Amino acid sequence: MQITRQADYAVRAMYFLAHKSQENPVTTAQISREQRIPPTFLAKIMSQLSAAGLVHSTRGAHGGVRLARTAAEISLLAVVEAIDGPMLLNDCVADPAICPMGANCRVHQVWCQAQADLVERLDQTKLADLAPANSAQPAVA
C-alpha cells in the first residue's frame, strides 16, 4: 500500500494552512508555489478537501482557502481518506471471504493489526502536532 502523490500533496497543503492565520484565507497560488504542488493538481485537491469539510474556500479578490476546523481537530487520516478513500492495507481486511485461504490464512490477523495500527497512528496525529505554534515558516514536507 502506498499513499498517492495526490494525498501527499493534500497533507503538505493542509500542513501549510495549519501554519497560517485562519482569519485570512491563503491563495492556492501561494500554496502551490511554496509547497511545490502543480496548480491544476492543487485545485482538484482543494475541491476534494472542501467536499470533505476540511477546508473552506472563498472566491474573489480577497479569496483563498483556510482550514474549516482547527489544526488540532484535523487528523492526517482525515486528510488522506478525503483524497484516497478509506485506508486498506489488503482487500481481505475489509472482506475476509475474498481470501482463497479463508479461515486457514495465517497472515490475516497480521494484516488486520497492521492496518489498525496505521489507522490509529494517522488518526491520532493532528495537523497541530506537525505545526508548532512557535514555528516561523513551514518547510516543504
**pTM for the model:** 0.84
Domains of the chain with bracketed CATH: 5-130 (1.10.10.10)
CB atoms under 10 Å from CB of 63, counted, come to 12
Q: Residue ranges of the chain with pLDDT lower than 70?
A: 1, 131-141
Q: What pLDDT sits at residue 2? A: 78
Q: What pLDDT sits at residue 135? A: 52
